[in-house]
Amino acid sequence: MSSTTEQASAKITFRRYKDGDGKWKRWQEQIFDADHSHKCPTYIQATPPCQGSCPSGEDIRGYLNIVRGIEKPPGGLGWQEYAFRRLAGANPFPSVMGRVCPAPCESGCNRNEVDDFVGINSVEHFLGDTAIAMNFAYDKPAVHSGKTVAVIGGGPAGLSCAYQLARKGHEVTVFDEHAELGGMMRYGIPGFRTPRTILDAEIQRILDLGVKTRLKCRVGTDVAMEQIRAEFDAMFLGLGAQSGRPLPCAGNAAPNVVTATAFLQAFNDGRMRHVGKRVVVVGGGDTSIDVVTVARRLGHIVHAHEADRPERAIASYMAHDVAEVSARQGAEVVLTSVFGIDRMQANKHEVEQATAEGITMRGGLTPVGVVCGADGRATALRVAQCEAKLVGGRLEVKPVPGTEEDIPGDLFVSAIGQSVDFTGLEEFNDGKGAVAADKNYQVSGKPGIFVGGDIVRPNLLTTAIGHGSIAADGIDRFLRNEVLEKRPKIDVHHFDMVRKMVERGLKVDDALEPLRGTDSSSAAVHNYDNRSDRHVIPHEELFLGHFPSAPRYRRDTITLNKETALGNFDERIVALAEAKAQAEAKRCMSCGQCFECDNCVVYCPQIAVKKVPKAQATMGRYVHTDYDRCIGCHICADVCPTGYIKMGLGE
């Protein structure tokens, strides 16, 4: 069919270019055109939710990738030691925390959307035990600053801070009122959960950096704060919250009504060898589980005398006679909580183990009074059914009238919280039983004095470790007369491209932090942007179809019953063997970072995505894009399992 004159002269509307024009003047105007995208792949590193959920800020994805064999160690270093050093960069207690941490990282794991979370805690446990068995030591700093720092409190926060400061070249002295270091790791957690040989080994590794100690010395009473200020250039307060809170009801002053911290310290000190026949614990958190499982193991002795009462050992009047322990029998132990059993804050695994040991748990009850006998000792705890809920961050508990009942007992333990003893240090009390500090954990109005741990906010051991690390960064900058800048939105340790390039001997002259590159940069041969300081990658940004279901490799746990728990202080958790630890690490989906699956290379229809030349490649720099070939089809981004590839032009 011939065309008409009108048709021949009609304006063409579908062409991208004018006749003779082969270039777009502005990319911004051409990002989208109908159903075609003119964006090309960019490589965006993000924080995985496991790390974003870790209060210690561990580079979890990093050490899992080392264990699984994706990230290779530099020459002369075994993968076990390389993974340990990546882990210990944030947390110097991997063996302890691998055993006792409730692992919020596992709750945040994106793998939960496929089958079950990665057993991060169990891999950490393996690495920590391996480091002790193979005598891995920390590298001492090559340069010393000549600055001195006093760390007050030798618990997880104080030791974490001392460790980080010593690695930065500062001279550190740790003050602690106890005979041994460890704080709540030693005096608040029973040895069958944290073996003392393990704790001692991890503490000694810190001391071997040159950290000094002054034990049995309480700052504020044994040594004045003025003297500390005169002798040291900076200070860290890691006092902890080792004073327990009494029951919030009448009768709580009875001699056999004690706090959980006093109970556990008496046990861990070796003073208390048995408890009463009937023990009633009020709580619902991890500390209360420690109390009831200790009570189950200690049991009671037949024909106990006045001097044998457990409260006397707890009050440090005397230690129990070891000979009497042979006559002990099991104790009846009851745990009450204002929440239902399924809503208790304690680690679910520990609750299951305690239940298996025959410990009675009763939820929805609040103490309303202590029933005392003529001698002043408590004989029962009066409780009532209650309604408990959080309102504005505060717990509101309302007893239900007419539901009161008495739970008889011989020893009553309050595990409802802890407080700080400010004796001699009253100047730091903010009036609420804590210390006010900024985001760098510098005490408000007191330059050079930093704080961390339960003294800021009672929480997990891993939280205290994270506080100590952040405070150490602030102290280091203070000692160098540098401005304390705002901390990152996501304050964790993460994969460092520059560090990896230095290990590989590659040029990093034009690398900037946070590292950004283009396709022609020697710092990053592809368009790369590290957004780990501000973006946690959700599962919606992953290609979950890449990951087949793979069951977890679980640690073996020795479960006891009512009879076998008595007198059994052996550890219950068995570390994974090396092969199983590696297999479990392979379940990690490496969210937010390339793990070299080759999907983008295989599926690119234009052969635009290519492997980086081996001589220039590192972890995170495995592929790059030839932008002359790329047509912006999105396929590489669609098939990227980890969400590492995004479509854009440097966005």
Q: Give span(s): CATH 3.50.50.60, the chain.
A: 148-185+202-241+420-479, 244-416
CB 367 within 8 A of CB 336: yes
Say if CB 453 and CB 464 are below 8 A apart.
yes
Q: What is the pLDDT of residue 34?
A: 42
Eight-state DSSP code of residue 155: S
CA distance 394 to 392: 5
The first and second tokens of residue 283, run together, are 């709580």
pLDDT band with cut points at 50, 70 and 90 for residue 526: low
Place of tokens 């490799």: 553
30-45: b (≥16 Cβ within 10 Å) or e: eeeeeeebebbbbbbb
**SS3 (DSSP) at 128:** helix
Q: For the chain, what is the largest distance between any 2 Cα atoms, rounded to a whole number of angstroms?
A: 119
Position 40 scores a pLDDT of 82
Query: What is the value of pTM for the model shown?
Result: 0.89
Which stretch of 271-280, 425-434, 512-521 has the lowest confidence by average pLDDT? 512-521
Closest CA to 568 of 199, 288, 299: 299
Q: Is the pLDDT of residue 26 over 70?
A: no
User: Is the pLDDT score of 577 beyond 80?
Assistant: yes
Q: Are 298 and 267 in contact (CB under 8 A)?
A: yes
pLDDT at 651 over 50: no
Q: pLDDT > 90: what percent of the chain? A: 71
What band does 650 get if pLDDT is binned at 50, 70 and 90? very low
Q: What is the pLDDT of residues 357-385, one digit of tens each?
A: 999 999 999 999 999 999 999 999 999 99
Calpha distance 304→324 (Å, rounded) = 9
Residues in the chain: 651
Q: Is the pLDDT of residue 438 over 50?
A: yes
Task: Record the tokens describing residue 403, joined without a space.
Answer: 């539901």
Q: pLDDT at position 4, please?
A: 40
Name residue 628's amino acid: D
Residue 306's pLDDT band (boundaries 50, 70, 90)? low
DSSP summary character for residue 152: E
**What mean pLDDT do residues 33-41 have?**
62
Range in 36-45, 225-234, 332-341 with the lowest mean pLDDT? 36-45
Do residues 72 and 589 make contact, with C-beta atoms less than 8 angstroms apart?
no
Q: Cα–Cα–Cα angle for 615, 43, 68, nearest 5°?
A: 65
DSSP letter for each residue of 35-96: TEE--EEEEEE-B-HHHHT-TT---HHHHHHHHTTSSPPPTT--HHHHHHHHHHTT-S-HHH
Q: Are 553 and 119 in contact (CB under 8 A)?
A: yes
Q: Is 399 exposed, middle or buried (0-12, 13-18, 19+ CB in 10 A)?
A: middle
Secondary structure of residue 251 in the 3-state scheme: coil
Mean pLDDT in the chain? 88
pLDDT (average), residues 147-156 = 97
State the pLDDT at residue 518.
Answer: 59
Phi, psi of 386 (to 5 degrees): -145, 165
Confidence class for position 95, pLDDT limits 50, 70, 90: very high
Q: Quick one: 393 exposed, middle or buried, by C-beta within 10 A (0-12, 13-18, 19+)?
A: exposed
Is residue 127 predicted with pLDDT exceeding 80? yes
Distances in Å between the alpha carbon of 570 and those of 130, 203, 216, 602? 20, 21, 29, 52
Q: Which residue has the higher pLDDT, 13 or 299?
A: 299
Which residues, other chains included, contact 168 with Cβ-Cβ below 8 Å and sequence gap of 6+?
Answer: 141, 145, 472, 476
Residue in 139, 160, 152 with CA at minimum distance from that of residue 92: 160
Q: Which residue has the tokens 């550890």?
A: 571
Both tokens of 305, joined, read 């005398």
Task: Pick the closest to residue 617 from 65, 71, 64, 77 (CA basis).
Answer: 71
Q: Is residue 6 over pLDDT 80?
A: no
List beta partners, residue 263.
none
Strands (E), 338-479: 360-363, 365-372, 378-391, 394-399, 405-408, 411-414, 418-419, 449-451
Question: What is the structure's pLDDT at 395?
Answer: 85
Residue 171 in contact with residue 144, Cβ under 8 Å?
Answer: yes
Average pLDDT in the 515-532 region? 68
Q: What is the pLDDT of residue 502?
A: 85
In the chain, the amino acid numbered 71 is E
Q: Residue 59 is encoded by which pair of tokens? A: 């580079």
d(CA 339, CA 279): 20
- Count other C-beta atoms under 10 Å from residue 385's C-beta: 18
We find that the CATH architecture of domain 244-416 is 3-Layer(bba) Sandwich (3.50)
pLDDT for residue 446 is more than 60: yes
Contact 524, 42 (CB under 8 A): no
The pair of three-digit structure tokens given for residue 229, joined into one six-digit string:
């200020």
SS3 breakdown of the chain: % helix, strand, coil, rounded to 5? 30, 20, 50
Partners of 237 in the beta sheet?
152, 451
383 and 207 Cβ atoms separated by less than 8 Å: no
Evaluate whether 51 touches 105 at the Cβ level (below 8 Å). yes
For range 90-117, the mean pLDDT: 96
Question: What whole-number distance in Å separates Cα of residue 163 and Cα of residue 523?
Answer: 31
Question: CB neighbours of 620 closer than 8 A, spacing ≥ 6?
Answer: 43, 45, 495, 497, 500, 528, 593, 594
Q: Per the structure block, which two tokens stand in for 643?
A: 């969400």
Q: Reply yes or no on whether the pLDDT at 433 is more than 70.
A: yes
Q: What is the pLDDT of residues 191-248, one digit of tens each?
A: 999 999 999 999 999 999 999 999 999 999 999 999 999 999 999 999 988 888 999 9
Please report, for the chain, how many H helices and E strands are present, in that order: 22, 27
**Pairing assessment for the beta strands 528-530 and 40-45 based on DSSP bridges:** parallel
Answer positive or negative: Cα dihedral of 374, 376, 379, 381: positive
pLDDT category at 320 given cuts 50, 70, 90 is very low
Inter-CA distances, 46 with 43, 50, 513, 581, Å: 10, 12, 14, 25
Q: What pLDDT score does 3 carry?
A: 39
Please give the Cα distance from 542 to 536 (Å, whole number). Answer: 12
Q: Which residues of 508-524 are buried (b: 16+ CB within 10 A; e: fewer)?
A: beebeeebbbebebebb
What mean pLDDT comes out for the span 32-56?
81
CB atoms within 10 A of CB 21: 10
Could you tell me which CATH number the domain at 148-185+202-241+420-479 has?
Answer: 3.50.50.60
pLDDT bracket for residue 509 (50, 70, 90): low
Q: What secondary structure does DSSP assign to 205-244, as a single string?
A: HHHTTT-EEEES--BTTTB-HHHHHHH-SEEEE-----EE
The helix or strand, by DSSP H or E, that contains position 473, with its residue range, turns out to be helix 461-479
Helix axes 79-88, 60-67, angle to 10 degrees: 170
